[in-house]
Structure 1
């Protein structure tokens, strides 16, 4: 299975207690399920589910999350933020 590097930003980093985590997963959806299971924390789950995801620099959502990964992948977990 491909190695997936998860980079957590802002509130996701605070909730995870780490900036980066690596898992072996066949899809983005599987990688997300693994990190949610590993942390088993309601705050972390809320932040991740509200976050935008970049997969190798490309926005991903919906059906794209279930597509098989071809190789090593980087997922950026970007929680909603405010600013001006």
Structure 2
């Protein structure tokens, strides 16, 4: 089990109803965090985590097997080019 500071941005913050929180995950990977957030916040968060990305250790990742660091940012998909 690991405790992670999760920071939410834009649609992720809307889905969570807060800008950040500490989350305990049994599987300390991006996939484990995705599952925990969807279990907590349901379909609005599911849309964000399936189409967005995670900033883990300063690197943007969509890899569900990537190990988490102490702080993870949940980023919604961004438009533009």
Q: TM-score of the superposition, structure 1-length normalised?
A: 0.75
Secondary structure in 2 matching 1:18:
coil
**Is 1:15 equivalent to 2:15 in the alignment?**
yes
Secondary structure in 1 matching 2:14:
helix
CA positional deviation for 1:83: 5.4
Gaps of 5+ in 1: none
- Paired with 2:47 and 2:33, the residues of 1 have a C-alpha distance of 16
Deviations 1:23-52 (A, max 9, x none): 222222112211110112x22211221112
Maintained 8 Å contact 1:4/1:22: yes
- Paired with 1:61 and 1:15, the residues of 2 have a C-alpha distance of 19
- Paired with 2:79 and 2:61, the residues of 1 have a C-alpha distance of 21
CA positional deviation for 1:55: 0.5
Secondary structure in 2 matching 1:66:
coil
More helix by share: 1
Q: CA RMSD in A?
A: 2.0
Secondary structure in 1 matching 2:22:
strand
Q: 1:9 to 1:24 in 2, by over 3 A?
A: same
Secondary structure in 1 matching 2:48:
helix
